[in-house]
């Protein structure tokens, strides 16, 4: 049974290496003691087009794709099942828009640490792709603009 898992894990790593989705600028907002949720942000680009369909991280009990948007005069956040990546276009996962929500955190996220996140995509050809990223933990008060200035 162990050899089967090694083969499956090995295939996942090969898939990651050949994924048509590139991820850049990954970061997560730091937390304070007792805070159970935070967001992770990054830029996604797919040469041929793909769909972000899920995410997971060992630092959180629940990881979801979320969207924040204005409804009338109220900012609302909700889980979404997917985010489309049009071919050749960069899609920003950023504060105030689409992002990865890390909930039921197992420990505080401290500035300078990194958060491992597995992103699951479905290519236009229907094939699943997994991309593993390390999101740098930034200040609790970091915004998208502040994060871009650090690059």
The pLDDT tens digits of the residues spanning 87-145 come to 999 999 999 999 999 999 999 999 999 999 999 999 999 999 999 999 999 998 877 54
Residue 14: pLDDT over 70: no
DSSP 110: -
Residue 105 and residue 67: Cα distance in Å, rounded? 19
Q: What are phi and psi of 20, to 5 degrees?
A: -90, 5
13 assigned to some structural domain = yes
Are residues 65 and 52 in contact, defined by beta-carbon separation less than 8 angstroms?
Answer: yes
49 assigned to some structural domain = yes
pTM over the 0.85 mark? no
* pLDDT score recorded for residue 18: 43
Q: Are strands 114-123 and 128-138 parallel, antiparallel or unpaired?
A: antiparallel
148 assigned to some structural domain = no
Q: Which residues of 46-75 are buried (b: 16+ CB within 10 A; e: fewer)?
A: beebbbbebbbbebbeebbbbbbeeeeeee
Confidence of residue 146 (pLDDT cuts 50, 70, 90): very low
Q: What range does the domain containing 49 cover? A: 2-141
Number of domains in the chain: 1
Looking up tokens 């995410």 gives 55
18 assigned to some structural domain = yes
The pLDDT tens digits of the residues spanning 39-92 come to 999 999 999 999 999 999 999 999 999 999 888 899 899 999 999 999 999 999
44 assigned to some structural domain = yes
**Neighbour count for residue 2 (Cβ, 10 Å):** 6
151 assigned to some structural domain = no
List the CATH number of the domain containing 17: 2.60.40.1890
149 assigned to some structural domain = no
42 assigned to some structural domain = yes
């Amino acid at each position: 049974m162990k050899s089967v898992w090694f083969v499956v894990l090995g295939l996942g790593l090969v898939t990651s290496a050949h994924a048509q989705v590139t991820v850049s600028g990954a970061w997560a907002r730091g937390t304070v003691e007792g805070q159970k949720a935070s967001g992770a942000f990054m830029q996604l680009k797919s040469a041929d087009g793909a769909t972000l369909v899920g995410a997971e991280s060992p630092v959180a009990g629940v990881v979801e794709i979320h969207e924040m948007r204005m409804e009338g005069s109220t900012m609302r956040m909700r889980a979404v099942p997917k985010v489309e990546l049009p071919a050749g276009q960069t899609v920003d996962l950023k504060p105030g828009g689409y992002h990865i929500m890390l909930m039921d955190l197992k420990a505080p996220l401290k500035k300078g640490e990194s958060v491992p996140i597995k992103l699951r995509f479905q290519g236009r050809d229907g094939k699943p792709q997994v991309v593993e990223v390390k999101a740098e933990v930034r200040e609790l008060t970091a915004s998208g603009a502040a994060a871009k200035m650090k690059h």
